[in-house]
Structure 1
Amino acid sequence: MRMLVLGAGLQGSACAFDLLQNPDVVEVRLADLNVSHLPAFLAPYTDAAKLAGAKPRLLPTPLDAKDTEAVRALMRQSDAVMSALPYYFNGPMARHAVECGAHFCDLGGNTEIVFEQKQLDAAAKEAKVSVIPDCGLAPGMVNILAQHGIDLLQRDGADVQSVRIFVGGLPQHPEPPLNYQIVYSLEGVLDYYTTLSWVVRDGKRHQVRALSEIEPVAFESHPELGTLEAFHTAGGLSTMGFRYEGKIPTMEYKTLRYPGHAQMMEAMRELGFFGLEPVEVKGVRVVPRDVALALMQPRLTKPQGRDLVALRVVVEGTKGGTAVSRGWELVDRYDDTRGVSAMMRTTGYSLSITGQLQASGAIPAGVCTPDECVPAERYVAELAKRGIEIEPIA
């Protein structure tokens, strides 16, 4: 298999690393504007091969994602394309991949773009390739687990009543005042904190304010985490809320943080610090969010910080008047041996697993989200091989 990874940031690098663990992957092109400063865990796949006089399996490749011809030339040489670029590239990249005859998956994060990608379904089937948006942690892993729970309850003859998803990337050693460290794009975090979130209530889709309806969440098997707080943010349900409107009464996605985080971020939002409209400051027009990012980025970047990912998915229903449920939990931590963060493991590895399933022929041609087409048990087994242990809730 020849694989192309677009985007050499944290998630793209983790995806490339995971691909290289499969001997059937003979080539991984990791493409971005700048590929001169890759993480140390990728060095053995370029340096060792060069020293041995062999052709490296990892090929860092300079690429401007806006250069259509260059992008398409690389796609024509690839069996599958995994995109870890910013979400606004996902639409055109999916289209290029279909037209070049390559499988495609991305990290998603924007539901409107997912619906745009769905329009490629007929073309993808004709090209005999698959396109899967939303293949990271959330959306991605959590949606696969949610669908698995729905399927299991329905196969057992139960009526599904609710789907509740909780997930968060957290520092193992929180520091005030926000008890948070950057584990992916801070700009993306602020987007989620300022965008209305879709939920399903009484079988109908509604939008609720981000950072609202805070509730406590404790992981009994991991008491060291203490009690976390959960609150609404956008994007995690993706298209599931649309698919199950009128079919499942309640569906919602919430982000996990240490207590007090949501209230502080809500106060900053309401004071206008995350606004996108320029304001005048001493005769200079500035965008409040740009200032917030400039101030927060260096303070929340912890080069020596160790992160964790906490996840819970619970699907509940009734059978013969009796309450039944299926659920899963995960607490994954920074890989000290390789220097790979928990967020990179759960997001970048998930993208890699999906791309490999596509290239191996395990996914039918067409456009589908992970919850619609990724075989859950096989996916969970692949995660376990990587030490990402998803545990059923008793």
Structure 2
Amino acid sequence: MKVLLLGAGHIGQTIARLLQGSGDYQVTVVDRSERALQALGVPGVKTQVVQTEDRAQLATVMKGQDVVVNALPYHLAIPSAHTALECGCHYFDLTEDVAATKEIMRISEGAKTAFMPQCGLAPGFIGIVAHHLAKGFDTLHDVKMRVGALPAFPTNALKYNLTWSVDGLINEYCHPCEAIHDGRTISALPLEGLEHFSLDGVEYEAFNTSGGLGTLCETLDGRVKNLDYKTVRYPGHRDLMMFLLGDLQLKSDQEALKSIMRRSMPTTMQDVVLVFVTVSGMKNGSLVQEVFARKIFAEREGQAISAIQITTAAGICAAVDLFREGKLPQKGFIRQEQVSLPDFLANRFGKAYQQSRQVESIG
């Protein structure tokens, strides 16, 4: 299967390595940065410098490809998906942007090819887990989804290092958050809904951020009383972000905030991804709660790979692989919750989650 991978950043590098290394995919990677393409170092992968904001250039490289895998910043999701539709390619991406997902859902109506956005960690794997647990209940009360990509050794006041896209990070802190409260779909404010919890003796905080629910609000509408998604950080992070975005009014000058963070906040390959889902409701006449909680750590042996690289790349590679195997719809819009959790965890790429340390797991 011919795959065109858009983006040669940290996540793109890992995607290319996984897909090309499997032997079932012929991968071509395009990026506007020649340096990023030269850094790939994946045997057998073709590369080409392309201005990824230019739809005409994208169309040229998409023609003849079977699948487009988009690992570009979220604001390029809509033009990339439109171009894939025009070129007759199946389309997969990692976007957490709600508006982009709704537009991709719209253009996929009646399409002869498949469109599957939100294939990363959150949205992505977290929705697959939540839906799998929810299916086992007669009546659903609460579905709580919590995810954090955190530095293993925080040292600054924010207790945070850059582990993924700054654009995506700020985007999810600034846009309204979908949720279901008392059976009704609502729009919640980002950075609100602060809560604290501990896991393995470590204290965490969690708060509203946008995009993590994917399409679960629509899928579980009318079936669940309360449904929400929150990002996990170390205590104190949220208050400082509210100061930056609100008090200093950097929400209205996001480029300045991104520039500050890129300049002053180091990236790290030593991170940990926390996945924590709780579902409660009625089963056989009893009120029951089920929990899925795991930690995925960076790989330090051989080539260093961060936990966020592992989890994000595994999510989208597993989606493409399950699609190739015919275990997903072959046209139209595909929701993350249409993925079977057992199929995902049994997949050669999805096993990255299975091999993680299970804090508390379902059978």
TM-score between both structures, scaled by the size of structure 2: 0.91
Contact 2:90–2:115 under 8 Å retained in 1: yes
Query: Per the alignment, in what secondary structure is the counterpart of residue 78 of structure 1?
Result: coil
User: Alpha carbons of 1:323 and 1:347: their partners in 2 closer, same or farther (altered >3 Å)?
Assistant: same
Aligned partner letter, 2:136 = L
Structural mapping, 1:237-252, within 5 Å: 237-252=213-228
Q: Secondary structure at the match of 1:327?
A: strand
Structure-to-structure mapping, 1:5-84, within 5 angstroms: 5-25=5-25, 27-38=26-37, 42-43=40-41, 45-46=42-43, 57-84=44-71
Give the length in aligned residue pairs: 358
* Structure 2 equivalent of residue 290 of structure 1: 255
Quote how far apart the aligned CAs of 1:64 are. 1.5
Match of 1:335 in 2: 299
Out of 153, 163, 187, the residue aligned to residue 207 of structure 1 is 187
Which amino acid is the alignment partner of residue 367 of structure 1?
Answer: G
Q: Do the aligned partners of 1:103 and 1:359 also contact (CA within 8 Å) in 2?
A: no
The answer for the alignment partner of 2:132 in structure 1 is 148
Q: How does 1:1-394 map to 2 (within 5 A)?
A: 1-25=1-25, 27-38=26-37, 42-43=40-41, 45-46=42-43, 57-124=44-111, 127=112, 129-153=113-137, 158-220=138-200, 223=201, 226-276=202-252, 287=253, 289-303=254-268, 305-337=269-301, 338-382=303-347, 383=349, 385-386=351-352, 388-389=354-355, 391=358, 392-393=360-361
* Secondary structure of 1:112's aligned partner: helix
CA contact (8 A) 2:4 2:62 kept: yes
1:33 is matched by which residue type in structure 2? Answer: R
Q: Tell me the amino acid that sits aligned with residue 329 of structure 1.
A: A
* Counterpart amino acid of residue 7 in structure 1: G
| Conserved? CA contact 2:205–2:234, under 8 Å | yes
1:103 to partner: Cα distance: 1.4
Residue 387 of structure 1 deviates from its aligned partner by: 6.0
Inter-CA distance 65–16: structure 2 relative to 1 (3 Å threshold): same
Give the structure with higher Rg (CA). 1
The answer to whether the 8 Å contact 1:200/1:252 transfers is yes
- Structure 1, 318-327 or 133-142: larger mean CA deviation: 318-327
State whether residues 107 and 133 of structure 1, in contact with CA within 8 Å, keep that contact through their aligned partners in structure 2: yes
Q: 1:201 to 1:10 in 2, by over 3 A?
A: same
TM-superposition CA deviations, 1:302-329 (whole Å, max 9, x none): 35x5111111112211124411233311
SS at match of 2:299: coil
Q: Which has the higher contact order (CA 8 A, sep 6+)?
A: 1
More off after superposition, 80-89 vs 175-184: 80-89
Which one is further off, 161-170 or 232-241?
A: 232-241
Deviation at 1:296, TM superposition (A): 2.5
CA distance in structure 2 between the aligned counterparts of 1:66 and 1:230, rounded to whole angstroms: 34
The separation in 2 between residues aligned to 1:161 and 1:335, in whole angstroms, is 37
The alpha-carbon distance between structure 1 residues 359 and 97, as it changes in their structure 2 partners (threshold 3 A), is farther
RMSD: 2.1
5+ residue gaps, structure 2, are none
Q: Distance in 2 between matches of 1:21 and 1:330?
A: 26
TM-fit CA distance, 1:71: 1.8
Q: Which moved more, 1:8-17 or 1:189-198?
A: 189-198
Q: Answer whether contact 2:9 2:36 (CA < 8 A) is retained.
A: no
Distance change in 2, residues 1:177/1:244 (3 Å): same
1:66 Cα deviation from its structure 2 partner:
3.2
TM-score (norm 1): 0.84
Unmatched runs of 5 consecutive residues or more in structure 1 = 47-56, 277-286
Identity, % of aligned pairs? 27
AA in 2 matched with 1:196: P
